[in-house]
Each structure stands twice: as structure tokens, then as C-alpha cells.
Amino acid sequence: MRRLAVFASGNGTNFEAIVAACEQKVLDAEVVLMVCDKPNAYVVERAKAHGTPSFIFSPKSYASKADFEHEIIQKLNEAGVELVCLAGYMRLIGDTLLEAYEGRIINIHPSLLPAFKGAHAIEDAFNYGVKVFGVTIHYVNAALDGGKIIAQRAFEYHGNDVEELESMVHATEYPLYIDTIQKLITSDSDK
């Protein structure tokens, strides 16, 4: 597997890290498509800057999730995408896309799953008062932040600054995602 799609909804720092790793040949892959469900998201600018082809859509202009996922599948097929990497794509993947790309969609989540699922995992863990934080990469299924865990990385944080904690989580995310994608690519080409 060498042809990647990255899905994002926001800032896109994980997208940036993955693209940079491909450009620098740290990652033996190419991001052939960026998919974004928020036309104003900063990740759109990042994709332009890197010359990454993008599919940007507004879910509201489709009658159903199945409708926009059919279009996503068409774009993925046209680009020859082999592995879909969700990176801050804040939307549940529906049955249409799951069936088409079963076992080939992975996600990064900023907590040690199964703890702190959802869109505010870092704040939720911080507010709960845990001292061990981390990041999870997992296969995607129909459940929110569900699916088989592929990799996790943990660290301790005893401070009181949620922004500092967020930076530490992000700094943990990028190398873990790149290492994990590289391992998946390598094990796939061994088969």
C-alpha cells in the first residue's frame, strides 16, 4: 500500500506531518488525495501549498451520508487510493464507505482508547485529572472511535496547562502515525 488519502476537518497538522514525511521519503508513500468536509478548514490551504489533489465538500448539499460517501468512493477509486488515514476528520464513517474500503481505513485519536472517546478527548482527560495521556491508532468501524487498536503511545503529564498538554499530544501523534503507516505499508508489501 503506497497511495494514501488523508481525511481532515480542521487545522490539518497531522495531514501536514504525513505529507512532509512522504516528501522527505521518511514514509514510503504518497498522499494522492485530501478529503475535507469543511470548505473553510485550514487543511484546505495546507493541501494547496503541497499541491495535494483535494476533494472538498459540504455535507449539507447532499441528501444523505450515503450520497456524499458514494462521491468520496469515486474520488478514492480514481486516485487509486489503497489506505485511508483519518486525521481529525470529525465525522463518523458510514456503511457505504466502510463496505467499500473495509480494513483499509485507519484513524488517529488523542487518548488511550477505550478511554475518552469523542471530539474533546484531550480536554476530557485533562478535566478528569488523569496523569497518563496518549494517542491511539485504530482501524475504523461503525462505532465512534471503535475498531481494532493498531498502536498506542503513552506519556505522563502532571502539569496544569491544557495547551501545553495539547502540544505534547500532538507531538506524540505525528511520529506515531507516520511509524504506523510505514509498518502497515511494509507488512502489506510482504504479503
- Give the shortest CB-43-to-ligand GAR separation in angstroms: 6
Quick one: which of 29, 38, 82, 110 contacts ligand GAR (CB under 6 A)? Answer: 110
The residues facing 151 across adjacent strands are: 137
- Which residue has the CB atom at the shortest distance from ligand GAR? 88
Between 63 and 128, CB nearer to ligand GAR: 128
> Cell digits for 136?
491511539
Question: Do 83 and 102 meet the contact criterion of CB atoms below 8 Å apart?
Answer: no
Decide if 50 is catalytic: no
**132, burial (CB in 10 Å: exposed 0-12, middle 13-18, buried 19+):** exposed
Residue written as grid cell 480494513: 103
Q: Which of 88, 93, 101, 105 binds ligand GAR (CB under 6 A)?
A: 88
Q: Contact, 13 vs 6, CB < 8 A?
A: no
Catalytic residue among 109, 120, 138, 170: 109
Residue 145 in contact with ligand GAR, rule: CB under 6 A: yes
Q: Tell me which residues touch ligand GAR (CB under 6 A).
A: 8, 10-14, 87-88, 108-110, 119, 121, 145, 173
